[in-house]
Amino acid sequence: MTQHLAAPFSGTSDDAPGHRRGWWQDAVIYQVYPRSFADGNGDGMGDLDGVRRRLPYLAGLGVDAVWLSPFYASPQADAGYDVADYRAIDPMFGTLLDADALIRDAHALNLRIIVDLVPNHSSAEHEWFKRALREGPGSPLRERYHFRPGKGPDGELPPNDWESIFGGPAWTRTTDPDGAPGDWYLHLFAPEQPDFNWDHPAVADEFRSILRFWLDMGVDGFRVDVAHGLVKAAGLPDIGAGGQLRLLGNDVMPFFDQDGVHEVYRQWRTILDEYPGDRIAVAEAWTPTVERTANYVRPDELHQAFNFQYLGTSWQAPALREVIEVSLAAMRPVGAPATWVLSNHDVTRHATRFASPPGVGTQTRQAGDRTLGLRRARAATLLMLALPGSAYLYQGEELGLPDVTDLPDEARQDPSFFRADGQDGYRDGCRVPIPWTREGSSYGFGTGGSWLPQPAGWGAHSVEAQTGDPDSTLELYRAALTVRKEHPGLGAGTAVEWYDAPEGVLVLGRPGFRCTVNTTDTPVRIATPGRPLLASGPIAAGEADDGHTELPADTTVWWAV
Ligand code: GLC
């Protein structure tokens, strides 16, 4: 392809002389889930052209970077997290030329582009895996995955007790080319997602090459899928206790968070550093503690890691304060920015999580009290955007979208739904295509319907309906991101200052700012900290001079001091 592909980001530079902070250290990064963002060709499925056309919206929103979930060639057994060709775009999303145009247009708008990299497993349709199956036992391609003979007299039992995250055993038995039952292969996710064997040098070589391919295309970074899973404990030992895997428990599992993964990231870091323009990587690493998460962002490893402990925290002041303190303390020794996230494509949107009492979990089908959920979600967002470090937004949260909790079973597509007898796997609820217009086919998502049904009235949440309405969630996000840009102190640093506050209230200080958060269901009187800048809900003008303000229930206010 042409040489302009390799052009690094050349927009406004935070790393200009005298200002050594990398752009990513306090960046607000917006996750686009391509199949549900905007449909450019009217086939009911979002695509890269749709994203490209909506880039001005994202620039206007005020985010610094866009992370795109996978758009690679894939049979879509797990919505693209099953990659058949890491260097090709799935025709449903477009072509490499579309990706090139998207990257160039984004850069012209001062937006960085982060792409998803899926190194733990490929698709079962990946050329290596297809050949491994076709060539049968003894094929050298089998060594790039985890093939093992089964247990039991005829090998009819899986090689160990590990279970798939999506339910059922983490092993599937193969059939030999002669039709006889053969070895088993490991898949921590769906059977269509065989795990790579990262002890094999060809796997490591291939991913170094894939990194370069996309860096040469001009991307600004990678979100590393299942970054904690690449290396498995030698001998693939049983875990006992029913083989249940725990994502956030106290134990290190033999398939997760093994120390060997860090060597992979040290190698990747040297590649990222070879490229101009501050290219980054962010780890999706589910680890037992934030301290172990910090290992992924040591100075010679990746740049950021998602803070799932924060995402899982309920709307209660003491829990929020604790997770903020623990997160900042864990990142400080390794010099990495803390990150904050409330929603993504794998969890119930926070406007719905917060609509139910604490303890509802990160995947729920309870609709709860929508008004309450939205009020808390807006307050939670202002708290998040007042914290030092980098924040991740998930498409549609700026519209205050709730999860769609009543999708009919026949519409559902999440592979974990099919593997868990319909008990589980409700990730489709946050993946419903987003509304751009009040009316019209799929509310402006595209001209040809929508791959998951949108609920009636979805247009009331649309960008069109909210734009210009000062009380809308969209305008709240726009205002918050404008303030954050105008006052770089908001995202900077590694600490917050806490002030005395009534029960259920947080008062935290940032340079030149206070942020007051009332997580209770009643108004609370506090000493007025300064001049109000932005509030997540209506605040009373207050009596002129008694020096106090009434903070409404479930409301966050930013103050200039
Ligand atoms: C990550 C992705 C999730 C996917 C899984 C397997 O957790 O976020 O969507 O199903 O990895 O790739």
- Determine the pLDDT at residue 426: 85
Mean pLDDT check: name the lowest of 20-34, 143-157, 242-256.
242-256
Kindly report the protein residue whose alpha carbon is nearest to atom 9 of ligand 1: 346
Please pick, among 135, 274, 497, 543, the residue that the annotation labels catalytic.
274
Distance 325 CA to ligand 1 centre (A): 28
Residues 6+ apart with CB under 8 A from 403: 348, 349, 351, 352, 364, 367, 429, 430
Kindly report the protein residue whose alpha carbon is nearest to atom 7 of ligand 1: 226
Distance 226 CA to ligand 1 centre (A): 7
| Mean pLDDT value of segment 341-367 | 94
SS3 132: helix
Distance 283 CA to ligand 1 centre (A): 12
Tens-digit pLDDT profile for residues 292-316: 999 999 999 999 999 999 999 999 9
Distance, CA of 548 to chain centre? 39
464 is catalytic: no
Q: Which of 35, 78, 196 to mutate to test the pocket of ligand 1 (most atoms within 8 A of CB)?
A: 78
Domains of the chain from N-terminus onward: 2-120+201-481 (3.20.20.80), 127-186 (3.90.400.10), 496-560 (2.60.40.1180)
Task: Give me the residue label for tokens 């001062």.
Answer: 110
Q: Which of the pair, 14 or 52, is modelled with greater confidence?
A: 52
Kindly report the protein residue whose alpha carbon is nearest to atom 4 of ligand 1: 81
Distance 269 CA to ligand 1 centre (A): 22
CB count within 10 Å of CB 411 equals: 12
Q: Does residue 257 register a pLDDT over 70?
A: yes
- Determine the pLDDT at residue 476: 98
Q: Which of 189, 196, 287, 424 to mutate to test the pocket of ligand 1 (most atoms within 8 A of CB)?
A: 189
274 is catalytic: yes
Give the binding-site residues of ligand 1, using a 6 Å CB cut-off. Answer: 78, 81, 118, 189, 225-226, 284, 345-346
Asked whether 34 and 51 are in contact (CB, 8 A), the reply is yes
Kindly report the protein residue whose alpha carbon is nearest to atom 3 of ligand 1: 346
Strand partners, 525: 550
Q: Does residue 439 register a pLDDT over 80?
A: yes
- Determine the pLDDT at residue 378: 98
Residue 558 DSSP one-character state: E
Kindly report the protein residue whose alpha carbon is nearest to atom 12 of ligand 1: 81
| Mean pLDDT value of segment 51-66 | 98
- Determine the pLDDT at residue 421: 58
C-alpha span between 131 and 122 (Å, rounded): 13
Can you give 55-75 as a three-state secondary structure string?
HHHHHHHCCCEEEECCCEECC
Distance 427 CA to ligand 1 centre (A): 10
Distance 96 CA to ligand 1 centre (A): 23
- Determine the pLDDT at residue 15: 39
- Determine the pLDDT at residue 9: 67
Distance, CA of 153 to chain centre? 44
Q: Which of 71, 196, 225 to mutate to test the pocket of ligand 1 (most atoms within 8 A of CB)?
A: 225
In order, the DSSP letters of 480-506 are HHHHHHH-GGGT-SS--EEE---TTEE
Residues 6+ apart with CB under 8 A from 375: 536, 537, 553, 554, 555
| Mean pLDDT value of segment 213-240 | 96
- Determine the pLDDT at residue 13: 40
